Structure 1
Amino acid sequence: MRRWLALLVAATTSLVLIALLVPMALLIRAVAENGAMSRATAAAESVAVAVGTPDLALAVEQVARPVTVFLPGGGTVGRPAGRSDAVRLAATGRSVTAEADGGREVLVSAQSPGGTAVIRVFVPDDELMRGVREAWLALLVLGLALVVLGIVLADRLALAVTRPVDGLARVSHRLAGGDLTARAEPGGPPEVRSVAMALNHLAGRIGDLLAAERESVADLSHRLRTPLTGLRLDAESLRDPEEAGRIQARVDALERAVSAVITEARRRSAGRGSCDAAAVVRERVRFWSVLAEDQGREVTVDLPDGPLPVAVGAEELAACVDALLGNVFAHTPEGASMSVRLQPQPSGVLLTVRDSGPGFEPALLERGISGGDSTGLGLDIARRTAESSGGGLTVSTPADGGARVEVLLGAAP
């Protein structure tokens, strides 16, 4: 916008200056020419007074410009010059001016005892244009200075419009990224201030809608937990152990799916937060270490001493870590070792969970979900958590066996 406004002002200023300076330049040229011709006419008239007197030659010499006097008998006094048509016309008693090679000639007729004499004063082009080029150059410099000044002023005025608009764009990007606390500062022209206030109102309305969604999710959680608990009790009361186990497994799968849906809904409705990744991972590893000790699993933990802030809320990151560690316990045999490593990266923080189990099936690696009886919800939760912070998820099977999951979390702003 600043460029277009600058071009518009430059074009408008240039048109105005052309309309003003071109006539002024022509006027300066006309004034210079008229001055030169007036001085030449005055010189010719001063010589005409001496026509017919013995002082004619002295009068011609005293004029500081080329003067020729054509006498009635055909003779000349002063600088030699040919008798042109204009000289013959002036000999009839008329004073005229005419174009000549290299300038103009002023012809004044004067009566003498022998007839009509013609005084010719030559005005060169240099004298006709004396001072005109300098004046034109001054006008050109003035015009360019005015154009530059207009562009600078237009740029300063454009900043008053573009700076608030850029601020609105940054706030809208923050809102799109999940930062619902972002607000625009009204400023600039009234129209831009109106847009800023409308954007702030929209952001507040989005926050209200998300709060209502969180309440609906909480209500949904309570409504679904009750019938699931009833189904679980009904399954446990069945007399056939095989049938009870089968129904119990279905209830467990349904409960995991419902929990994942509720967790995802809460994650979407919650505003984008931040937390100390080292503290959250350390606390969740400590929680799972009790179960690992019961199953005889060796747990290797590599966490930095200092804080590692990431652009993920503490509850969301805890759910991600629980999903990854839960997959290890669910899909590797008891006694299989695992390691958890957290290290800073230029673009964020890298969380690596590795185990010595059977690893991932090649076909499932391409889809980014785990194998076995897993529904893939655990890795899907981890992937969405990473992507919400600006990072990503990578799963692989190392050459020495096992499975490795790497979650890149974006750094907190």
Structure 2
Amino acid sequence: MRRWLAVLVAATTSLVLIALLVPLALLVRNAAENRAVGQATGEAESVAVAVGSVDPGTLAITVERAALTTGHPITVFLPGGSTVGAPARRTPAVELAARGRSLAADAPGGREILVAVQGAGGTSVVRTYLSDADLTRGVREVWLGMLALGLALIGIGIAVADRLAGAIVRPMAATARASHRLAAGDLSARAVPEGPPEARAAALALNRLAGRIDDLLAEEREAVADLSHRLRTPLTGLRLDAESLRDPEEAARIGARVDDLERAVTAVINEARRRSGGRRHCDAAAVVAERVSFWSALAEDQERPLTTDLHPGPLPVPLASEELAACVDALLGNVFAHTPEGTALAVRLAPGVVIEIGDEGPGFPAGRLARGSSGAGSTGLGLGIVRRSAESAGGSMALGRGPHGGAVVTVTLPQGDSAVLGAA
């Protein structure tokens, strides 16, 4: 926009200057010609005074002295056909002037000024010749000065237009950046109202919209919390009813279904909380280290060798600490749930941010490395939650096999600026 405004001002200024300077340039040229013609006419008249009042020898000296003084060739055509001064051809204009009429006429390469002098023996003609350079002396310098002035005015106009355009564009660009941050999930983004009234109005409208979004998300979080409480109560009652059954097998079967239902409800609630909670940040190094420390006690009880390679951090990622902790718990929980006791596992955290959890168990069955499918008799909800969390942050999740045939789950998250941890 700044470029287009500068081009518009340059075009407008150029048109105005052309409309002003072109007539002015022609006027300067005409003035220079008139000045040269007037000066030459005065020179010819000064010589004409001596014609008829002095002898031919004195007249020749007078003409020669005047020519040296003015720098213009001067010729006197006498009535008898003879000439005094610079050699010159007797042109039709000279013949016309010999009839008693003073005039100026175009000549090859310039202009001749002719002054008729009436005398006793007839009419003499004093001719002064002006070249084209004499007629335009000083015009070129004036034109160059006018051109420089025009270019300077155009440059000043463009500079002023650029400053004015910057005062308009900068607030609009800042408002656009704030809107992009809101679209990316940063609900704390706000625009600074500045610049022209229209730009301030747009910034204030965006800020009101962001505030309204915050209010709506707060209401949604409250609704999710209420939903959680409402669903937990009947699930608890259903579990108590299952435990009160006399048939142990029937109680275990129904209890397993209740567990599946509770996991599904938990996944739905967590997903709703994630979508309504806005974009937050956490230190992946701190979260992963804390969850590995928590699960290490269980690994020790089950005699599972635990190998860790954790970057000390900080490693900021665009996920809430609770959400990242749930992802790590889901992955480690799968290892403990689907591998025999004593199976070794390893946790690695590297910049990037890459979280890799592997084990030396049976691994994923062939053809079962699909989304939401664990292949170990479970619902696969844990892996689905991890995948969705990673993709919502701009990352990814990959399933693979370790060097010893075990399962390896790699979660890659974008690493942010460490400054966001202080603001989170």
Q: TM-score range by the shorter chain?
A: over 0.9
1:327 maps to 2:347: no
Q: Percent identity?
A: 67
Residue 50 of structure 1 deviates from its aligned partner by 1.5
CA contact (8 A) 2:116 2:123 kept: yes
Task: Indicate which of 198, 204, 209 corresponds to 1:197.
Answer: 204
Q: CA deviation at 1:86?
A: 1.3
Output the CA distance in 1 between the equivalents of 2:196 and 2:131. Answer: 60
- How many Å separate the matches in 1 of 2:117 and 2:196? 75
- Matches of 2:73 and 2:147 in 1, distance apart? 34
Specify whether residues 27 and 362 from structure 1 end up closer, same or farther in structure 2 by C-alpha distance, changes over 3 A only: farther
Give the deviation of 1:303 after TM superposition.
Answer: 2.2
Aligned partner of 2:189 among 179, 182, 185: 182
Q: Which residue of the partner structure matches residue 304 of structure 1?
A: 311
Give the alignment partner of residue 376 of structure 1, picking from 360, 377, 380: 380
1:320 alignment partner AA: C
Q: 2:74 maps to which residue?
A: 67
Distance 1:271 1:141, change over 3 A: same
Cα pair 2:360 2:402 within 8 Å, conserved: no
Match of 2:60 among 57, 60, 75: 57
Q: Partners in 2 of 1:114 and 1:359 — Cα distance? A: 135
Q: Is the aligned partner of 1:127 residue 2:149?
A: no
Cα distance between partner residues in 1 of 2:371 and 2:106: 94
Structure 1 partner of 2:161: 154
Matched, 1:275 2:282: yes
Equivalent in 293, 303, 322 of residue 286 of structure 1: 293
Question: Letter of the aligned partner of 1:227 in structure 2?
Answer: P
Secondary structure, counterpart of 1:390 in structure 2: coil
Greater shift, 187-196 or 366-375, is seen at 366-375
Which has the higher mean CA deviation after the structures are superposed, 41-50 or 283-292? 283-292
Matches within 5 A, 1:14-413: 14-53=14-53, 54=55, 55-64=58-67, 65-345=72-352, 349-365=353-369, 367=371, 369-413=373-417
Partners of 1:398 and 1:95 lie apart in 2 by 114
Contact 2:283 2:313 in 1 (8 A): no
Kept in 2, the 8 Å contact 1:103–1:122? The answer is yes
Q: How far apart are residue 368 of structure 1 and its match?
A: 7.1
Report the AA paired with residue 98 of structure 1: A
Number of the residue aligned with 2:6 = 6
SS in structure 1 at match of 2:343 = coil
- Per the normalisation by structure 1, the TM-score is 0.94
Unaligned regions of 5+ residues in structure 1, if any?
Answer: none
Listed one character per residue, the Cα deviations across residues 267-324 of structure 1 (whole Å, up to 9, x for unaligned) are 1111322222222212212222333334332222222345433332211111111111
Higher mean alpha-carbon deviation, 251-260 vs 377-386, is at 377-386
Contact conserved, 2:284 with 2:313, CA < 8 A, in 1? no
Aligned 8 A contact 1:51 1:111 in 2: no
Q: Label 1:316 to 1:81 Cα distance change in 2 as closer, same or farther (>3 A).
A: same
CA contact (8 A) 2:182 2:210 kept: yes
Task: Return the offset for 1:144.
Answer: 0.9
- Structure 2 CA distance for aligned equivalents of residues 362 and 305 of structure 1: 36
Q: 2:286, 2:313 within 8 Å by CA — same for their partners in 1?
A: no
- Call closer, same or farther: CA 1:366–1:80 in 2, change over 3 Å: farther
- Paired with 2:30 and 2:392, the residues of 1 have a C-alpha distance of 76
- State whether residues 386 and 410 of structure 1, in contact with CA within 8 Å, keep that contact through their aligned partners in structure 2: no
Whole-Å separation in 2 of the counterparts to 1:360 and 1:63: 116
**Cα distance in 1, alignment partners of residues 223 and 171 from structure 2:** 37
Offset, 1:369: 4.8
In 2, are the aligned partners of 1:368 and 1:394 still within 8 Å (CA)?
Answer: no
Q: Which whole-Å deviations, capped at 9, do the CAs of 1:30-51 have from their partners, x for residues lacking one?
A: 1111111111111111111122
Question: The residue matched to 2:348 in structure 1 has which SS?
Answer: strand
Residues 364 and 72 of structure 1: CA distance in aligned 2, closer, same or farther (over 3 Å): farther
Q: Once structures 1 and 2 are overlaid, which stretch shifts more, 273-282 or 153-162?
A: 273-282
Q: Is the 8 A contact 2:113 2:129 kept in 1?
A: yes
Q: Shift in Å at residue 97 of structure 1? A: 1.2
* Distance in 1 of aligned mates of 2:9 and 2:95: 57
Q: Which amino acid aligns with 1:62?
A: R
Q: Secondary structure at the match of 1:122?
A: strand
Report the alpha carbon displacement of residue 67 of structure 1 after superposing the two structures with TM. 1.0
CA distance in 2, matches of 1:117, 1:282: 119
Q: What are structure 2's unaligned runs of at least 5 residues?
A: 418-424
Alpha-carbon contact 2:194-2:200 (below 8 Å) kept? yes
**Pairwise CA RMSD:** 1.9
CA displacement at 1:84 relative to structure 2? 1.4
TM-score when scaled to structure 2?
A: 0.91
1:37–1:106 Cα contact (<8 Å) kept = yes
Change beyond 3 A, Cα 1:153–1:364: farther
Q: Aligned pair in 2 of structure 1 residues 219, 91: CA closer, same or farther (>3 Å)? A: same
Distance change in 2, residues 1:361/1:50 (3 Å) = farther
